[in-house]
Amino acid sequence: MFLKNAWYVAATPDEIDTKPLGRKICGERIAFYRGAEGKVAAVEDFCPHRGAALSLGYVQDGNLVCGYHGLVMGCDGKVVSMPLQRVGGFPCVKSYPVIERYGFIWVWPGNPEKADPALMPDLFWAESDEWAYGGGLYHIKCDYRLMIDNLMDLTHETYVHADSIGQEEIDETPVNTKVEGDEVITSRYMENIMAPPFWAGNLRGNGLADDVPVDRWQISRFTPPSHILIDVGVAHAGKGGKDAPPENRVRAIVVDFITPETENSHWYFWGMARNFRPDDAELTARIREGQGRIFGQDLDVLEAQQRNLEAYPERRLLMLAIDAGGVQSRRVLDRLVKAE
Amino acid sequence: MFLKNAWYVAATPDEIDTKPLGRKICGERIAFYRGAEGKVAAVEDFCPHRGAALSLGYVQDGNLVCGYHGLVMGCDGKVVSMPLQRVGGFPCVKSYPVIERYGFIWVWPGNPEKADPALMPDLFWAESDEWAYGGGLYHIKCDYRLMIDNLMDLTHETYVHADSIGQEEIDETPVNTKVEGDEVITSRYMENIMAPPFWAGNLRGNGLADDVPVDRWQISRFTPPSHILIDVGVAHAGKGGKDAPPENRVRAIVVDFITPETENSHWYFWGMARNFRPDDAELTARIREGQGRIFGQDLDVLEAQQRNLEAYPERRLLMLAIDAGGVQSRRVLDRLVKAE
Amino acid sequence: MFLKNAWYVAATPDEIDTKPLGRKICGERIAFYRGAEGKVAAVEDFCPHRGAALSLGYVQDGNLVCGYHGLVMGCDGKVVSMPLQRVGGFPCVKSYPVIERYGFIWVWPGNPEKADPALMPDLFWAESDEWAYGGGLYHIKCDYRLMIDNLMDLTHETYVHADSIGQEEIDETPVNTKVEGDEVITSRYMENIMAPPFWAGNLRGNGLADDVPVDRWQISRFTPPSHILIDVGVAHAGKGGKDAPPENRVRAIVVDFITPETENSHWYFWGMARNFRPDDAELTARIREGQGRIFGQDLDVLEAQQRNLEAYPERRLLMLAIDAGGVQSRRVLDRLVKAE
């Protein structure tokens, strides 16, 4: 159950720098590669000659050459040539709209005619010198919607990430959920608390005192098909919270691009953008490492949850206030998939 | 095909000492843990909130806390609390009768109302200072009844365990099978033979000559659901065999608790209780290591047998005299399962 | 989809030298072993007593003894004996015609009455002192017919094996395909070209200049059920090509015995026979290593192709001139299987 007419993050540029990449996205087997002038391209990972995987081939003159018998596939899915063959009557394969932007390769697995670049999300932080970004990729064996649930309610931080970003005040503070068109926003504000280890580290990293009370905020924003950006941070207490002046706060955006592979597995592109000390590559690496460790803790939980749901498909789950973000996000998806 | 209304060995105490244990028993996914005052408890491994595995959580104040969103599950399967929630209307999960006794955690996967502790087996050796016990656990990918067959006929020792407990005299000696109610007993007595390596070692370990003829006995006793205790030993020939005075014999009980996981896999708790030099921990360790190696030899045989039976489900197997123990045990099980 | 009434290569002699070998051939689970006087034998890998795998047993007095309870199986599939049992009424298992010849163990998985040794291929090079042979075995998770396709058209060498035996001239040269009864022959002759690295090495290995133009030939010959022998070599240009005198050429036979395991996996016995410096064991080892590396490159390609074909079973593949060898070979197989 996923939208096909949508832009998904498919890969990071480094994954196709030296050779093509075969990756399944929303059930489609796709070969990604750099075509003419380094422009990213994507075609079905299926050679129309004998069914070989085109992603095992190589790029020549901007086209993907099948590594089995040398069929040359064009970026549009039409066969360009093949040694000693007339290829005019050869069947085509699908090609997929792809865009390289914001440091990611985006793909549109559905109807190419509907692939409007204007539908791409606007990620201001990815194009600003005042922000730095670091992130990674996990392959997770569960329905991508379990990850949406996970991120639209951060109560789990208290339990899954108790030693880094979790703290009791999270689940003592009610969460607020609202729906704006196709977007779902959940927010939680905690005032006059002590920063947990991860944020204390960021305060120090930004040259701020970490032993004084802070105001902490978490604002998760779901946009279809399955992108979740979370505005997070702490400010010295009473300075305005999220809107405090930069010298009193550390702010970041947790970046979550959740891309279905199959009905019960997905690619999870996670990362963090921050607007403090953006030039400090060492800090970027340290945050990335910490976040990778923290987000890795979710994997076991989600994969075990998936197995449980498969074992007991008839059981109805609860929908509490803390689940509203996930529930509303699924409603948006249900509506859009139905329209599709 | 297994009995559900029965006491099965589910775990050893060390497996739940520091954190909960998730284990599937007779098709039931169960979380085992130590509740109030260290008392063992078992509930379905399924959080009624969103289906997370409770066994990935932790114990607090005697209750199991879900590691995802903090739901507190009681030992009776009723939800105790959850941050910011009224839990009165929350659905319950199953709880399972559990008993810690004889150095094992026992569970009753069926109807809790029928779980009578008086139905537990009586293991005198587990509570006597004159006996010592050592054992281990294997996970085996075959129908648990193949293991029952294996243990109710020890002819296989000659072939599978030729270098330790096997000897030609075993399959030259007829086996005797009898059924007493729900119990099945197979026995074999070999007189005036030389002890095989494992028993020669035990003779020496007990300070007895190992280069003289012995009488050897093997008495396998099956009791439902799938416990097999085997009275085994050797005595210097002509001294009374099994009933010889302690200074002329070494005697042990091979302990086999066979617990179905699914229809075609099981947990095998194996061990040996002995009534000689019970305080010699080093001897316990040495016997345990030897037995672990010997019993490990059965794994390949049984798993290959399972694959063969699945490949040829229509083939009828032979039922020879040596198979009578397994055949009769299955009949008892068939009858009891049908009654269930 | 495979012929059952045919001789297949099942193993190499070293695989059964010290103990029995269990291997599935054309869907049949077979135990191979050396019976009386070292003569190879093959029976179903299923003990009629309780379904244990006979291949886990051992050989005694020329018979296979089941490693579980000691049933003694005869080479004809009839039970010889079992301790304390009368075995007259025991069911038989299948036995399979087997022949050890040409350095391989051959098996006939179909109707034993039709197993005529005269139907074995004639491998003159395997019995001649002027030829040397080296080879290996790969297990490949794809329909064996994909390997037939692979070998009946060597265009792929240009792409899959670009750094060893591939060269552009291969796919610039048309291939010739002809069918002679049940045999299919594809051939390609390239004149006045430079030898690729593998053949340059062989020229040097044979004491010939490797920096002069050569004529190169490839003649693939498919014979049912799935044996492909490829006459390959290079000769100094203009000396007669394949028929040049030995002092002007290096010639070899690429040996491919392709044995189905299941519908979508097979055993691939590959090797090379050469008629130059046959006594040079070090050269045999070096060629074998190089060929093993080259042929290993096909595995990924073929297994990915298999996954693609399973994912898109409805897609029709192209049948180009270069595919004629594989297509014709499949037609022969279709006809013979239908007749069977």
Q: Write the pLDDT tens digit of every residue in C32-64.
A: 999 999 999 999 999 999 999 999 999 999 999
Q: Is C320 near chain A, with CB under 8 Å?
A: yes
Please state the rounded mean pLDDT for residues A113-119. 96
B56 has a chain A CB within 8 A of its CB = yes
For residue C35, give both structure tokens.
């019976």
Residue B91 DSSP SS3: coil
Q: How does residue C81 score in pLDDT terms, banded at 50, 70 and 90?
A: very high
Residues 6+ apart with CB under 8 A from B335: none
Residue ranges of C 88-127 with Cβ closer than 8 A to chain B: 90-91
Query: Is A314's Cβ below 8 Å from some Cβ in B?
Result: no
Cβ of C308 and A51 within 8 Å? yes
Tell me the chain A residues in contact with residue C318 when contact means C-beta distances shorter than 8 Å.
48-50, 90-91
Contact yes or no for A46 and C308 at CB 8 A:
yes
**pLDDT averaged over every residue in chain C:** 94
Strand runs labelled E in chain B:
8-11, 21-25, 28-34, 40-44, 58-60, 63-65, 72-73, 79-81, 98-101, 104-107, 132-140, 176-180, 183-193, 214-223, 227-236, 249-262, 265-274
d(CA B97, CA C8) in angstroms, rounded, equals 58
* pLDDT band for position A330 (cuts 50, 70, 90): very high
**How many Å apart are CA A217 and CA A244, to the nearest integer?**
12
Mean pLDDT of A317-321: 89
Contacts of C304 in chain A (CB under 8 A): 22, 52-53, 56
- Mean pLDDT: which of B83-92, B103-112, C159-168 is highest? B103-112
- How much of chain A, in percent, has pLDDT values that exceed 90? 82
Backbone angles phi, psi at B35, to 5 degrees: -90, -145
| A301, A321, A322 ranked by CB distance to B67: nearest | A301
Q: What integer is the mean pLDDT of B166-191? A: 91
Using a pLDDT cut of 90, give the percent of chain B over it. 82
**Residue to test with chain A: of B23, B58, B69, most A Cβ within 10 A:** B69
Residue range A255-281, pLDDT digits in tens: 999 999 999 999 999 999 998 889 999
Q: Sort out which chain A residues have CB atoms less than 8 A from C309's CB and list them.
A: 51
Which band of pLDDT confidence, cut at 50, 70 and 90, is reported for residue B96?
very high
Test the B interface: residue of C44, C55, C69 with most B CBs within 10 Å: C69
Q: Which residue of C has its CA nearest to B318?
A: C49
Domains of chain C: 8-119 (2.102.10.10), 124-339 (3.90.380.10)
Most confident segment among B35-39, B203-207, C25-29, C206-210: C25-29
Instruction: List the alpha helices (DSSP H) in C80-160.
Output: 144-152, 157-160
pLDDT band at B299 (very low <50, low <70, confident <90, very high): very high
CA atoms of C66 and B318, how far apart (whole Å): 14
Selecting from B29, B70, B85 the residue whose C-beta is nearest the C-beta of A159 gives B70
**Within 10 Å of residue C94's Cβ, how many Cβ atoms?**
16
* DSSP H or E stretch at residue A59: strand A58-60
The pLDDT tens digits of the residues spanning C156-201 come to 887 778 777 888 888 888 889 999 999 999 999 999 999 999 899 8
Nearest to C55 by CA among C40, C41, C66: C66
State the best of C308, C316, C317 to mutate against chain A, taking most chain A CBs within 10 Å: C308
C103 token code pair: 């350095």
* Residues contacting residue C180 through CB under 8 Å, at least 6 positions apart: none
Contact check, Cβ <8 Å, C159/A70: yes
| Closest C-alpha to A255, from A239, A241, A235, A271 | A271
Residue C52 amino acid letter: A
Tell whether the model's pLDDT for residue A295 goes beyond 90: no
pLDDT for the residue numbered B27: 96
Does residue C56 sit at the B interface (CB-CB below 8 Å)? yes
Q: Would the CB atoms of A153 and B69 count as touching at under 8 Å?
A: yes
Six token digits for residue A192:
């006059």
Q: Name every residue whose Cβ is closer than 8 Å to that of residue B8 and which is 6 or more positions away in sequence.
A: B25, B26, B106, B107, B108, B109, B225, B226, B257, B259, B260
Q: How many CB pairs under 8 A join A and C?
A: 70
At A296 the pLDDT is: 87
So what's the pLDDT on residue C156? 82
Which chain B residues are Cβ-neighbours of A300 within 8 angstroms? 56
What confidence score (pLDDT) does residue A162 get? 77
Confidence (pLDDT) at B80: 97
**Probe site for chain B from A148, A155, A159, A169 (most B CB atoms < 10 A):** A159
Q: Are B214 and B194 in contact (CB under 8 A)?
A: yes
Residue A262 forms contact with B (CB below 8 Å) = no
pTM value is 0.91
DSSP H helices, chain C, are: 144-152, 157-160, 168-172, 197-205, 281-311, 324-339
Residue B7 DSSP symbol:
-
Share of chain C above pLDDT 70, in %: 100
Neighbours of C127 (CB within 10 A): 11
Nearest CA-CA distance, residue B320 and chain A, Å: 40
In which order are the strands placed within the sheet that holds B104-107? Answer: B8-11, B104-107, B98-101
If pLDDT is split at 50, 70 and 90, which confidence band does C25 have? very high
- The mean pLDDT value for C234-246 works out to 94
Task: From chain B, pick out residues whose CB is under 8 angstroms from the CB of C83.
Answer: 155, 158, 171-172
Q: Quick one: pLDDT at residue C138?
A: 97
Q: Report ipTM (2 d.p.).
A: 0.90
Asked if pLDDT for residue A307 goes beyond 80, the answer is yes
Arithmetic mean of pLDDT over chain A: 94
User: Is the Cβ pair C304, A56 closer than 8 Å?
Assistant: yes
Backbone dihedral angles phi then psi of residue C150, each to the nearest 5 degrees: -55, -40
Per-residue pLDDT at C296: 87
Tokens of B189: 């007595």
- In the prediction, which pLDDT does C15 show? 97
